[in-house]
Amino acid sequence: MVNNQNSNMSILLRGLLAENPVFILVLGTCPTLATTTGVVGAFGMGLSATAVLICSNFVISLLRKVIPDTVRIPCYIVLIAGFVTIVQMFIHAFLPELYETLGVYLALITVNCIILGRAEMFANKNTPGKAVLDGIGMGLGFTLALLLMATIREVLGNGSFAGIAIPFMQDHTIGMFVKAPGGMLVFGVLIALVHKITHGKAPVKKDFSCAGCPSAAYCKTGSACASAGQNPEKAEV
C-alpha cells in the first residue's frame, strides 16, 4: 500500500497516451469503429465503458485473493456482464436516446477486450486503489480516442459536431465517413499517425499482438495465440 504519488500518477496517465488502449494497444476495436459515427454516441460509449471498467477493476482487485485461479475467467465475465447490464439499465432509464443510439453495442461492452484485458493484466495483480486509477486512466484513454475518431467522422461525414451543424461543412459532407468503410479508414490513418509520433517509444509489435489481443485471458492457456502463429509456446489447457 506504500505507493508514492508519482507511480499513482503514472498509472493514471499512461492509459491516456503511452498505453492508450485504442491507438497503442489496439484493444476494443469493435466499439471504436461502430459507435464513433457521432460525438454524442462516442462520448456515451466511452463513459459507459469507463464506468464498467472502474467497477470491474475495483471488484476484481478486491476479490483477487478470493477468486480461485481455475474459475477466474468465468468469474470476471459474470462480474463484467453484471456491471454492463446495470449500466445499461441506468442508461435505458435516464438517457433513452443514447440507449437507442448505442443499441447492441452497449451489451457488447461485456466482450470489450479492454475490460477483460485490464482485469487479467492489471486488476488481479494490484491493490484496489491502483486498479481504480488504472480503470480511470484506461477508460479516459478509451473515451478520448473515441471522441477523436467521432469528431473526425462526424465533422467530415455529417458536417456537424455533437449534432450541431457546422456552416460550411454542412453543405460539403463526405457520406463515407459515417459509414463502415470511413470508420476503418480513419482508424487506420490515426494508428499510422500515432506510430509516427511515438516512433521508437511505442511498445513493439509483439507486446500488443499477444498480451493485448482480445483473448489475452486465454493467451496464457496457450492455444489461442499459438493458433495465430504469434506465440510458439503451447501449454496444456
Work out which of 13, 17, 18, 81 binds another protein, going by CB under 8 A.
81
Nearer to another protein, 165 or 184 (CB): 184
Contact call for residue 206 and another protein (CB under 8 A): no
CB 55 within 8 A of CB 136: no
For 200-233, letters b (16+ CB in 10 Å) and e give: eebeeeeebebbbbbbbbbbeebebbbeeeebee
- DSSP annotation of 207: I
By CB under 8 A, residue 205 contacts another protein: yes
82 part of the interface to another protein, by CB under 8 A: yes
Q: From the list 9, 165, 170, 188, which residue makes contact with another protein (rule: CB under 8 A)? A: 188
Q: Does 163 bind another protein (CB under 8 A)?
A: no
Residue 33 found at the interface with another protein (CB under 8 A): yes
- 13 vs 108, which CB is nearer to another protein? 108
147 burial via Cβ count (<10 Å: 0-12, 13-18, 19+): middle
Are the beta carbons of 26 and 211 closer than 8 angstroms? no
Q: How many residues bind another protein (CB under 8 A)?
A: 71
Minimum distance from residue 149 beta carbon to another protein (Å): 12
- The amino acid occupying position 167 is P
As measured in angstroms, the least distance from the Cβ of 9 to another protein is 29
